[in-house]
Amino acid sequence: MKEVAGEFLYGLPEKTIDKIIEDYYEDAKRLSPLEEDKNGTNQKDDDGLGDDIDNVTALGYFDVPILNLYESEMRKIASLDSKLRTLAFAFLVVNKFYGYRYSYECNADLYRLSHNEKKSGKTRNVMLHRLVENGVVKFYTKINKAYRFNQSWIAKTSFIVPINVDFFKDKSNEKVWMQITNYDDIMLYLGLYLGDERVSTCTECGCPIEVTNNAKKYCSNCSNKKLKKARGKAKKKHFSGKLKERKKGKIEL
């Protein structure tokens, strides 16, 4: 791995390189292959989809963390200028998602998550500086040895969100406003808190969903669960009917 990633890791201390490779190795170990049946092949369902999706879900490939949004965090973001709230919320969620005091994420991704990707570079920089001035975001830059040869070779620029309550040792007095369980559009959570009329809630789990013309009632998670349940019932009914016909001697299986 050192040889393959030599150019990417060039200039970093040996200990840092070893730590990066170790992290990749541990991640790879957790991604075990799909379980196979006794014949060595994955079974297929009648609909042709197979058991792959169930196996992947069971192995945790699609598991995402459930994040707490605290009242104090949401109040702080709501107190900001309306032009800064979405970007501030994106920083908060990303910082919580990674679970590290200092998080690394490309600014372009943060602008995309906050729906600010179409804004000009100058506008983005102004927004970022204002968040720093308001104490919402703090940045930390770590440079490697190669920096003295080329100042564009910065090893890592990370950030921290001081209002992130998850980093406090004692959270007993903190009230949770809501948990993030769906990541289709995290800005819907902010919209719900701010009372946006374009945001409703899932009738099943209560997470925010976008108001649409087709009277949408469920989030994607609950919708998928209901669809899977309906398919299971239809399949059970189909085979039950076949079994009854077989007992009556109408068909042979």
The pLDDT tens digits of the residues spanning 27-54 come to: 777 655 444 444 444 443 433 333 443 4
Of 139, 155, 180, the last residue of a domain is: 180
Of 45, 63, 81, the last residue of a domain is: 63
Do 71 and 171 fall into the same domain? yes
Which residue matches tokens 């995402």? 64
pLDDT for residue 147: 57
**How many Å apart are CA 26 and CA 3, to the nearest integer?**
19
pLDDT for residue 45: 40
C-alpha distance across the termini of the chain, in Å = 54
pLDDT for residue 100: 84
Determine contact, residues 178/70, Cβ cutoff 8 Å.
no
The per-residue pLDDT for range 71-124, each reduced to its tens digit, is 999 999 999 999 999 999 999 999 999 888 888 878 889 999 999 999 999 999
Do 142 and 156 fall into the same domain? yes
Do 106 and 138 fall into the same domain? yes
**How many Å apart are CA 136 and CA 161, to the nearest integer?**
6
57 vs 213, more confident:
213
pTM, rounded to two decimals: 0.66
Q: Domain count of the chain?
A: 3
pLDDT > 90: percent of the chain: 41
Do 97 and 114 fall into the same domain? yes
- 242 falls within a domain: no
**What's the average model confidence in pLDDT over 126-140?**
94
- 174 falls within a domain: yes
Do 84 and 103 fall into the same domain? yes
- 154 falls within a domain: yes
User: Distances from the Cα of 125 to the Cαs of 9, 60, 105, 119, 129, in angstroms?
Assistant: 29, 38, 16, 10, 6
Do 71 and 161 fall into the same domain? yes
Task: Band the pLDDT of 14: cuts 50, 70, 90.
Answer: confident
Do 146 and 92 fall into the same domain? yes
**What's the average model confidence in pLDDT over 210-226?**
83
Instruction: Write the CATH number for 145.
Output: 1.10.10
Do 95 and 169 fall into the same domain? yes
**How many Å apart are CA 89 and CA 84, to the nearest integer?**
9
pLDDT reading at 211 higher than 80:
yes
Of 180, 210, 228, the last residue of a domain is: 180
Residue 236, judged by CB atoms within 10 A of its CB (0-12, 13-18, 19+), counts as: exposed
Summary mean pLDDT of the chain: 78
- H or E element that contains 209: strand 208-210
Which structural domain range is residue 107 located in? 67-180
Do 44 and 126 fall into the same domain? no
**What's the average model confidence in pLDDT over 184-208?**
94
- 211 falls within a domain: no
- 247 falls within a domain: no
pLDDT for residue 130: 96
Do 76 and 172 fall into the same domain? yes
Do 71 and 157 fall into the same domain? yes
